[in-house]
Amino acid sequence: MKIIWILVLVACFNGVCLNGVTTNETTRPPFVNIGALLAYDSTIGKVAKVALQAAVDDVNSDPSVLGGTKLRLLMQNSNNSGFLGIIESLKFMETDTVAIVGPQSSVTAHVISFVANELQVPLLSYSSTDPTLASLQFPYFIMTSRNDLYQMAAIAEIVEYYGWREQPGDDITDLLVKVALSESRILVVHTFSSWGPDVFSVAQHLGMMGPGYVWIATNWLSTHLETNSPLPSDTMDDFQGVLTLRMYTPDSELKRKFISRWSNMTSGTTGYGPNPIGLSTYGLYAYDTVWLLARAINAFLDQGGNISFSGNSRLANLSGERLHLDAMNIFNGGKMLREKILQVNMTGVTGQLKFNPDGNLINPAYEVINVIGSGIRKIGYWSNYSGLSEVPPEKLYSSPPNRSSSSQKLYSAIWPGQTVQTPRGWVFPKQWKTFENWCPESG
Ligand SMILES: *[C@@H]1O[C@H](CO)[C@@H](O)[C@H](O)[C@H]1NC(C)=O
Ligand SMILES: *[C@@H]1O[C@H](CO)[C@@H](O)[C@H](O)[C@H]1NC(C)=O
Ligand SMILES: *[C@@H]1O[C@H](CO)[C@@H](O)[C@H](O)[C@H]1NC(C)=O
Ligand SMILES: *[C@@H]1O[C@H](CO)[C@@H](O)[C@H](O)[C@H]1NC(C)=O
Ligand SMILES: *[C@@H]1O[C@H](CO)[C@@H](O)[C@H](O)[C@H]1NC(C)=O
Ligand SMILES: *[C@@H]1O[C@H](CO)[C@@H](O)[C@H](O)[C@H]1NC(C)=O
Ligand SMILES: *[C@@H]1O[C@H](CO)[C@@H](O)[C@H](O)[C@H]1NC(C)=O
Ligand SMILES: *[C@@H]1O[C@H](CO)[C@@H](O)[C@H](O)[C@H]1NC(C)=O
């Protein structure tokens, strides 16, 4: 026994064992490149930019996280353009990045996912949450926040809770006038933060923010309100009585600490007008995404993973062309890093981060928010586990899930037109009156 021990020690001299297993010391590179792709001026991008930089600084200032290796963050501005986003991501693939945080939009993510698959570079996205991205077709695309699938489930359950009929989901901007003339009074607005406010100002103009109407906005609205708060009161007028969702992150010491640092990190920035950028839940998820990646890179290096790249034979055939696509390399350790990412189990500012076998983060949940006056009021929660509740979801995880309609609860809401009475959700159709208006001579 003793002799074998000594032999192994000798064989491992200089960090390299005879059996080919390399130890930590020799495989730890001084730094690892990671990319981030965001639209700096967008509602989500300006928050994420601060949060990503803070996370990289925090990881790098704590040698215990990566055993002395530092993250080198290369950030690119996609300028809110799907086209530039695609070009910028291709450029990352030439700089030997082991993973890319982003892209910010689902449109770019669809295109880039094909490239990421080919070059084996994981994409970790805290903001592209389109359910179709979570398919098996894109194994290198990893959603590090909440899949919109759950947001849609939450809205369907809210509609059912108030006893409204489900209406077909139409393209809202095009159909506002049509809706005003139809029997439906329930409108769900799922769009980008940059367009959403316009929908509401048109609706206000058309008198569709009054009594009888129900407006439900996906989390673009809560994000808009958090990032740009306080908004002027005439802008807030457009959102009175609207319900919106916000990704739920449980209260914790880590989260409180991060929130208290935020004003320092954003002093001198501008969100809306002279106000500094407000912290949205995307900021929390962006911050945790870098930590999750750092944990995965550490596990990767611990297991002897190498940061090395090789040419792609399919692209090599393109050499000589002006785009120099042949400069894009395959990350040899990509498959292993992807596995390590999906195995992470950590606690961050957003709570516990761990992936389900289906690739979604565990315990998806949202807060249900009612916009009232100059602020917002939380009227409850939705969780994948037990549906709508007045108490935070983690209080329910210890008992068996109860989806019976009698166990579904929300605090009362104040609806458009400042009424507490739950709107009926429909009116008698105005069709024949419309007909009369359009064909006066036919009567
Ligand atoms: C590398 O170091 C970590 C602790 O930092 C240890 O748990 C792990 O077993 C080591 N891996 C190898 C291959 O020596
Ligand atoms: C992105 O936007 C910034 C500021 O608006 C501008 O200076 C820059 O040229 C733009 N980049 C590209 C590639 O269009
Ligand atoms: C704010 O940031 C500065 C520099 O980054 C630091 O010296 C200072 O202690 C911070 N203040 C607080 C209250 O965290
Ligand atoms: C890393 O590289 C070394 C030497 O090139 C090799 O022996 C080892 O198998 C590689 N590790 C992995 C996980 O590919
Ligand atoms: C690259 O070009 C060579 C010669 O034209 C061809 O034999 C090879 O199959 C091509 N490789 C790929 C991956 O298309
Ligand atoms: C993940 O972490 C949590 C909290 O630290 C722990 O309770 C749980 O057992 C861990 N799960 C796995 C599969 O390691
Ligand atoms: C959501 O709930 C469904 C049905 O209970 C379950 O199959 C799925 O795994 C859950 N998703 C997550 C991310 O927990
Ligand atoms: C579910 O909740 C309802 C109302 O709170 C209760 O009456 C019912 O017994 C519960 N069902 C289970 C299986 O716990």
- Please write the tens of the pLDDT for every residue from 194-229: 778 888 988 898 889 999 999 999 999 999 999 998
Please tell me whether residues 233 and 139 are part of one structural domain.
no
Residue 94 falls inside a structural domain? yes
Q: Are residues 217 and 282 located together in one domain of the fold?
A: no
Residue type, 14: N
CA distance 289 to 57: 14
Residue range(s) defining the domain that contains residue 41: 10-146+255-267+278-350
Q: From the alpha carbon of 305, which atom of ligand 4 is closest?
A: 13
* Dihedral sign of CA atoms 260, 266, 271, 277 in order: negative
Q: What is the pTM of this model?
A: 0.85
H-state helical runs in 233-378: 233-237, 253-265, 281-302, 313-316, 334-343
Ligand 1 binding pocket (C-beta < 6 A) is 23-24, 67, 302, 304
Which residues touch 203 (CB under 8 Å, ≥6 apart)? 176, 187, 209, 215, 238
For residues 120 and 261, state if they share a domain. Answer: yes
Residues 110 and 16 both lie in one domain: yes
Q: What is the pLDDT of residues 340-399, one digit of tens each?
A: 999 999 999 999 999 999 999 999 999 999 999 999 999 999 999 999 999 999 999 999
Residue 51 Cα to ligand 2 middle (Å): 21
- Label residues 169-198 b or e (16+ Cβ within 10 Å = b): eeebeeebeebeebebbbbbbbbebeebbe
3-state helix, strand, coil in the chain (%, to 5): 40, 20, 40
Q: Do 178 and 48 lie in a common domain?
A: no
Please tell me the distance from the alpha carbon of residue 340 to that of residue 253, in angstroms, as a whole number: 27
- pLDDT per position in the chain (443 positions), as tens? 333 332 333 333 333 333 334 444 556 899 999 999 998 988 999 999 999 999 999 999 999 999 999 999 999 888 777 777 788 777 777 788 999 998 888 878 888 888 888 889 999 999 988 888 877 788 999 999 998 899 999 998 998 899 886 574 444 556 677 777 777 788 888 877 777 888 898 889 888 999 999 999 999 999 999 999 889 999 999 999 999 999 999 999 999 999 999 999 998 887 777 889 999 999 999 999 999 999 999 999 999 999 998 877 776 666 666 666 667 788 999 999 999 999 999 999 999 999 999 999 999 999 999 999 999 999 999 999 999 999 999 999 999 999 999 999 999 999 999 999 999 888 776 544 433 333 333 33
Predicted pLDDT at 389: 97
Quick one: pLDDT at residue 54?
97
218 and 245 co-located in one domain: yes
Among candidate residues 350, 379, 412, the one where a domain is terminated: 350
Q: 139 and 285, same structural domain? A: yes
Residue 359 lies in a domain: no
Handedness of CA 423, 225, 147, 196 (dihedral sign): positive
> Ligand 8 centre from 162 Cα, in Å?
19
Residues 241 and 370 sit within 8 Å (Cβ to Cβ): yes
CA of 310 to the centre of ligand 5 (A): 17
Whether residue 14 is found in the same domain as residue 140: yes
Residue 344 CA to ligand 6 center (angstroms) comes to 10
Q: Which atom of ligand 5 is nearest to the CA of 317?
A: 1
Ligand 4 neighbour 304 (Cβ under 6 A):
yes
Question: What is the per-residue pLDDT for 136?
Answer: 76
Ligand 2 centroid to Cα of residue 70, in Å, is: 29
Q: Tally the residues of the chain.
A: 443
The answer to the question of residue 357 being in a domain is no
Contacts of 28 (CB under 8 A, 6+ apart): 67, 68, 69, 301
- 443, part of any domain: no
Same domain for 245 and 260, yes or no, is no
Residues 248 and 259 in one domain: no
CATH code for the domain in which residue 427 is found: 3.40.50
pLDDT number for residue 439: 34
Question: Is 442 among the domain residues?
Answer: no
Task: Please give the distance, rounded to the nearest whole angstrom, from the Cα atom of residue 351 to the centre of ligand 7.
Answer: 18
For position 292, which CATH number holds?
3.40.50.2300
DSSP 255: H
Amino acid sitting at position 96: D
Tell me if 355 is assigned to some domain. Answer: no
Q: Is the C-beta atom of 264 inside 6 A of ligand 3?
A: yes
Residue 118: burial class (beta carbons within 10 Å; 0-12, 13-18, 19+): middle
User: Do 263 and 239 belong together in one domain?
Assistant: no
Q: To test the ligand 1 pocket, which listed residue (24, 62, 297, 298) has its Cβ within 8 A of the most ligand atoms? A: 24
Asked if residue 88 belongs to a domain, the reply is yes
What is the number of structural domains in the chain? Answer: 2
Report the distance separating Cα 98 and Cα 308, nearest Å.
Answer: 9
Residue 301 lies in a domain: yes
Judgement on whether residues 89 and 142 belong to the same structural domain of the protein: yes
Residue with tokens 């983060």: 361
Last residue within a domain, chosen from 290, 318, 350: 350
Smallest CA separation from ligand 1 atom 9, residue:
302
Tokens at 403, concatenated: 């989806």
Q: Of 296, 318, 350, which marks where a domain is finished?
A: 350
